[in-house]
Amino acid sequence: MPNNRTRKTPFRAPTGAPTRRPRGATPEPVPSVVEEVAAEPKVRAPRGAPTDSSKRGRHKELPGKPERLHKLLAQSGVGSRREMEELIAAGRVNVNGETAQTGQSASPGDRIKVNGKLVHLKFSNRLPRVIIYHKPEGEIVSRDDPDHRPTVFTSLPKMSGGRWVAVGRLDFNTSGLLLFTTSGDLANRLMHPRYNLVREYAVRILGELPDDAKQRLLDGIELDDGIAQFATFQEAGGEGANHWYRVSLFEGKNREVRRMFEAVGVVVSRLMRVRYGPFMLPPNLKRGQVLELGESDVKKLIADFDMENPAPDRPSHKSRER
């Protein structure tokens, strides 16, 4: 169970995207999905919450037309389009009892199995779901963990058919904003480097950071997997021996923020992600709680990423809270 005690974290919702970008990066406009979803959400803890299937009108499918199988599997949350193409080529996808072929299409009513397991397909006329989750420390972003640690997926709303796809990851001891969607295609676009989406963090360290170390972090630090640099670096106060900073960068390598501070001789004692692209962590979204985007915000997000819009005659839907 997540610990919902309030902690003092000196960060404020950012007023604009950082202007500094990594060397050699080709910036593209950050999608402008409505950010007021982070303003005043109504939330409640997801665990144990009853699910009323009669209120899920927007998730009922309308008649759809045939679509490419690998695309359908991706937007149904099974994996990326490339991964689905590889599964089809390997003969691990079955359509109506027969092995699927590369480039094959599927229609509503077809029975699709991946690795022998039946998959509930989401056609393009079905609007994907997108949620913001305030991840606490002590949860892993994985469904399979050999150490059997708590996983974020047990805190998410339950679904019959399909699954939640994580947009990036946060490590076990990092908290903050984590995005999930039912569309593998949308998740891949949110993570793709060409969209240059900013990641912003509140960082607490023990002791003070010398000015020259700060400049090194802005200029670029050589890590095992290449050069890493912060786009912005701001002091955010602190008490006693603890000092807080707010930093941003435009990529999401494994433990990148922690490794960058370690490279200049400083250990991070607490790390929280407060922004991912156009999404900000709502101030009153407590740890372990979920906020689901409303239909209009999801449609705008899809349009910003040049994805095909679902059928316009979908039932109206307001933001869901859990």
Measured distance CA(48)–CA(50) in Å, rounded: 6
Q: If you average pLDDT over residues 99-111, what whole number do you get?
A: 88
Is residue 229 scored above 80 in pLDDT? yes
With cut-offs at 50, 70 and 90, classify the pLDDT of residue 55: very low
CA distances from 136 to 2, 82, 217, 313 (A): 6, 32, 26, 38
Q: Which of residues 288 and 50 earns the better pLDDT score? A: 288
Measured distance CA(202)–CA(11) in Å, rounded: 6
- ∠ CA 136-220-239, nearest 5°, is 45
10-26, pLDDT tens digit by residue? 444 444 445 455 555 44
Is residue 270 scored above 70 in pLDDT? yes
Q: If you average pLDDT over residues 28-55, what whole number do you get?
A: 41
Per-residue pLDDT, 256? 93
With cut-offs at 50, 70 and 90, classify the pLDDT of residue 114: very high
- The model carries a pTM of 0.67
Q: What are phi and psi of 234, to 5 degrees?
A: -130, 140
158-189, pLDDT tens digit by residue? 887 678 999 999 999 999 999 999 888 889 89
135-162, pLDDT tens digit by residue? 999 999 998 888 889 999 999 998 876 7
Active site residue 171: yes
Which among 52, 145, 171, 224 is annotated as catalytic?
171
Q: Which of residues 123 and 29 earns the better pLDDT score? A: 123
Is residue 245 scored above 90 in pLDDT? yes
Per the CB < 8 A criterion, the answer to whether 43 and 322 are in contact is yes
To the nearest whole number, what is the mean pLDDT of the chain? 79
3-state secondary structure string across 7-41: CCCCCCCCCCCCCCCCCCCCCCCCCCCCHHHHCCC
64-104, pLDDT tens digit by residue? 578 889 888 887 778 888 888 999 999 999 999 999 999 89
How many residues in total does the chain contain?
322
Per the CB < 8 A criterion, the answer to whether 126 and 162 are in contact is no
**SS3 assignment, position 52:** coil
Q: Which of residues 237 and 45 earns the better pLDDT score? A: 237
Measured distance CA(79)–CA(117) in Å, rounded: 14
With cut-offs at 50, 70 and 90, classify the pLDDT of residue 250: very high
Per-residue pLDDT, 275? 96
Is residue 45 scored above 50 in pLDDT? no
Q: If you average pLDDT over residues 24-32, what whole number do you get?
A: 46
**SS3 assignment, position 227:** strand
Q: Which of residues 63 and 98 earns the better pLDDT score? A: 98
Q: Which of residues 122 and 148 earns the better pLDDT score? A: 148
Is residue 288 scored above 90 in pLDDT? yes
